[in-house]
Structure 1
Amino acid sequence: MSNVPIPEGLKEILLGFTIEVIRNHPRNICDFALQYFAELKNNESKVKGQKVKFNNEAMQIGSEDEDEEFVAPVINRFARRVSVCAESYDPDNEEESREPMVIHFKTDEQRQRLLEACKYIVLFKSLEQDEFFRVLDAMFERPVAAGEHIIEQHEDGDNFYVIQSGIYDVHVMDNGITRLVGTYDNHGSFGELALMYNTPRATTIIARTSGALWCLDRQTFRRIIVKNNAKKRKMYDDFIQTVPLLSSLETYERMKVVDVLVPRQYTDGQQIIAEGESADDFYIVESGQVRITIRRPTQQEGEMYEVEIATCTRGQYFGELALVTNKPRAASAYAVGNVKCLVMDVMAFERLLGPCMEIMKRNIRLWNLEVKIEPVGAVDKCLRSL
């Protein structure tokens, strides 16, 4: 398939359609697509009067007739087209990487509050420590008044926002009707999609109460976060193709897995999972070794000791048994030397690894059959069912 030429204009047409879907949130995408492409076909003769520009990732669309409406059976009309003034960005461009970084001075108290606010932001979890601190340096605090509009649907994105305090309502206008679709209550982040994909804002976000936000400007966001995501995708996609369990996934499935993997590092002897605890994560060993142990009773009643039953190395995984069976951890795992694992939380595991579930269940059934006869031998033979 790699030798099949891509028809000229296909990427631009699909990008334009994607932007309209994000902007309008149609109830029926098929009907929306039929009407969109029918209108596109009918207006071919008007293309010269519509000012369409393409710039790598970004697309600017304007219309000479700003009030033009399009009536569809399901969607009353397309919203007025708005320009997407997004600069193109090449993650591999070293010149852009050497540009001076933005730094906003912070007191010790402000920096501590910022660290707490950013602790659980998913976009920051895959950053190296120096990149993370560069992001913190570039962020600035913005006080917010009740009723203030932070983001307006269809407008260009300027900042990424991390919530310090306050309640923020998320609104979407659909068919001329504004709906409340979500609320952020004193934690979380928003505004990344428009910056990552060069699309207009998909929602309007209004402060219900007074509060404060930490803001990261568009240019810094793209230079650090977008570049990091591109690097992470390339590196982790190459890696997970070597993992037998994941090698059968389609390309788009692998990309979804890559996007949710979070690197974690462990030092020698550090416990990664504990036998008997509830299961929250699935682990793939990227580097180092992980020692797997189970507890066994001693001859004295009530006392237990740990027995090493297996070792996981690069490309092997552990922690899925409890997630598949919805039971507590059946074994403990410890780092041997310095270890780096790629970690997927339970919700992503259930959502994305459906195609691999039968393989894991089959290994678990093999474990259960053999463990009754020869516990240690069974575990050694069935390393991937741990």
Structure 2
Amino acid sequence: NFAEEPMHSDSEDGEEEEAAPADAGAFNAPVINRFTRRASVCAEAYNPDEEEDDAESRIIHPKTDDQRNRLQEACKDILLFKNLDPEQMSQVLDAMFEKLVKDGEHVIDQGDDGDNFYVIDRGTYDIYVKCDGVGRCVGNYDNRGSFGELALMYNTPRAATITATSPGALWGLDRVTFRRIIVKNNAKKRKMYESFIESLPFLKSLEFSERLKVVDVIGTKVYNDGEQIIAQGDSADSFFIVESGEVKITMKRKGKSEVEENGAVEIARCSRGQYFGELALVTNKPRAASAHAIGTVKCLAMDVQAFERLLGPCMEIMKRNIATYEEQLVALFGTNMDIVEPTA
């Protein structure tokens, strides 16, 4: 039955690094880092283990109470910041500066050197990627999110052009502070999670370097017994891998009251190394099920932009699992619950 079916699958099918999914049409916003990059690096090499924590290099941009509050609100769900200790987070907030943008302004341009990492305070932004001389919009941000980390992490040119489609405001973090705190912290995180990520069967189709990038962008979230992790019907913003504990997946029959708990049927349980939350990201539909912690649960979370960017080679495994989900839902409910759009 569904509850006995683990939400992952083995695959030994290797793909070229940073390849797009086989059926890119399944996405509203396709993988955005498939393009030709310059051979040269855009900045100096950096070894986090050799970096000394020099207090004189710390940057502080004074802020009003209102600015500090808005900055903390904008940063609270940024996964790159989730593993920072309070002192590191305080240094990051001190170093960030406000940047006001106009409608139509280019915040970053594909191919340029990376100077800052940006967190969105407000405004809407389109993501453009030029491939073979043709630029196309491959996604957007709507008053939340962050961008610009890849060029700073890996010393590569900007992967895309980000253009404001409304007046807005961003919080910028300079590359020196980003690399001194975020990159150094990620080096420690790699040591913690490399072996765990390496052991996950559904990531076997990723190259070693791609798996390291997955480690770089994941954040850790801890949930208490009974706490809701995702809710059926909500929009999707993250993908989850269970590091420890157990997660119960439930689904309500269509037509049942939102508050009628008895309308929810348990359809699966996920334990260490299994994943959930991918369905809404693959189908670009609201969450098809809810997830709750059983006991204390620790999850690794990846936001939707990183999911689309890095897990393209894993999409075929996830799409095959969708077919399995549909079969099991038919057995439970007599219908596939329309978890994916009907094909024409």
CA deviation vs aligned residue, 1:147-169 (integer Å, no higher than 9, x gap): 99876887654433445467889
Structure 1 residue 354 corresponds to structure 2 residue 315: yes
Give 3-state SS (helix, strand or coil) of 1:104's partner.
coil
- CA contact 1:173–1:179 (8 Å) conserved in 2: yes
Distance in 1 (CA, whole Å) between partners of 2:265 and 2:127 is 52
Distance in 1 (CA, whole Å) between partners of 2:143 and 2:243 is 35
Deviation at 1:286, TM superposition (A): 0.7
Deviation at 1:21, TM superposition (A): 4.4
AA aligned opposite 2:93: L
- CA contact 1:324–1:361 (8 Å) conserved in 2: no
Number of the residue aligned with 2:37: 22
Match among 224, 237, 249 for residue 267 of structure 1: 224
TM-score by length of 1: 0.53
Match among 206, 223, 233 for residue 277 of structure 1: 233
Structure 1 residue 104 corresponds to structure 2 residue 80: no
Structure 1 residue 217 corresponds to structure 2 residue 217: no
Number of the residue aligned with 2:9: none
Give 3-state SS (helix, strand or coil) of 2:45's partner.
coil
Give 3-state SS (helix, strand or coil) of 1:96's partner.
coil
Structure 1 residue 314 corresponds to structure 2 residue 253: no
Number of the residue aligned with 1:198: 155
AA aligned opposite 2:227: Q
TM-score by length of 2: 0.58
Deviation at 1:220, TM superposition (A): 0.6
Number of the residue aligned with 1:16: none
Match among 311, 320, 325 for residue 364 of structure 1: 325
* Backbone CA RMSD of aligned residues: 5.2
- CA contact 1:278–1:328 (8 Å) conserved in 2: yes
CA deviation vs aligned residue, 1:227-274 (integer Å, no higher than 9, x gap): 234444454442133334434554355346445544322122212234
- CA contact 2:78–2:146 (8 Å) conserved in 1: yes
CA 1:241–1:112: 2 relative to 1, 3 Å? same
Query: Greater shift after overlay, 134-143 or 354-363?
Result: 354-363
CA deviation vs aligned residue, 1:290-339 (integer Å, no higher than 9, x gap): 2445679xxxxx99376767653322334456777888767543213332
Deviation at 1:369, TM superposition (A): 7.7
Number of the residue aligned with 1:159: 116
AA aligned opposite 2:318: M
Give 3-state SS (helix, strand or coil) of 2:37's partner.
helix
Match among 195, 212, 221 for residue 238 of structure 1: 195
Deviation at 1:140, TM superposition (A): 2.5
Distance in 2 (CA, whole Å) between partners of 1:168 and 1:129 is 30
Query: Greater shift after overlay, 214-223 or 116-125?
Result: 116-125
Number of the residue aligned with 2:246: 289
- CA contact 1:261–1:343 (8 Å) conserved in 2: yes
Match among 70, 80, 83 for residue 113 of structure 1: 70
Deviation at 1:108, TM superposition (A): 1.4
Deviation at 1:222, TM superposition (A): 0.6
- CA contact 2:80–2:219 (8 Å) conserved in 1: no
- CA contact 2:128–2:162 (8 Å) conserved in 1: yes
CA deviation vs aligned residue, 1:104-144 (integer Å, no higher than 9, x gap): 33221110122234356564456555543331121133566
Number of the residue aligned with 1:339: 297
Structure 1 residue 304 corresponds to structure 2 residue 319: no
- CA contact 1:263–1:341 (8 Å) conserved in 2: yes
Distance in 2 (CA, whole Å) between partners of 1:172 and 1:370 is 43
- CA contact 1:278–1:327 (8 Å) conserved in 2: no
Q: Unmatched 5+ residue regions in structure 1?
A: 1-19, 24-35, 37-57, 60-83, 297-301, 374-386
Distance in 2 (CA, whole Å) between partners of 1:204 and 1:305 is 46
Larger Rg over CA atoms: 1
Give 3-state SS (helix, strand or coil) of 2:293's partner.
strand
Match among 82, 88, 93 for residue 136 of structure 1: 93
Aligned length: 288
CA 1:206–1:96: 2 relative to 1, 3 Å? same
Query: Greater shift after overlay, 284-293 or 98-107?
Result: 98-107
- CA contact 1:171–1:178 (8 Å) conserved in 2: no
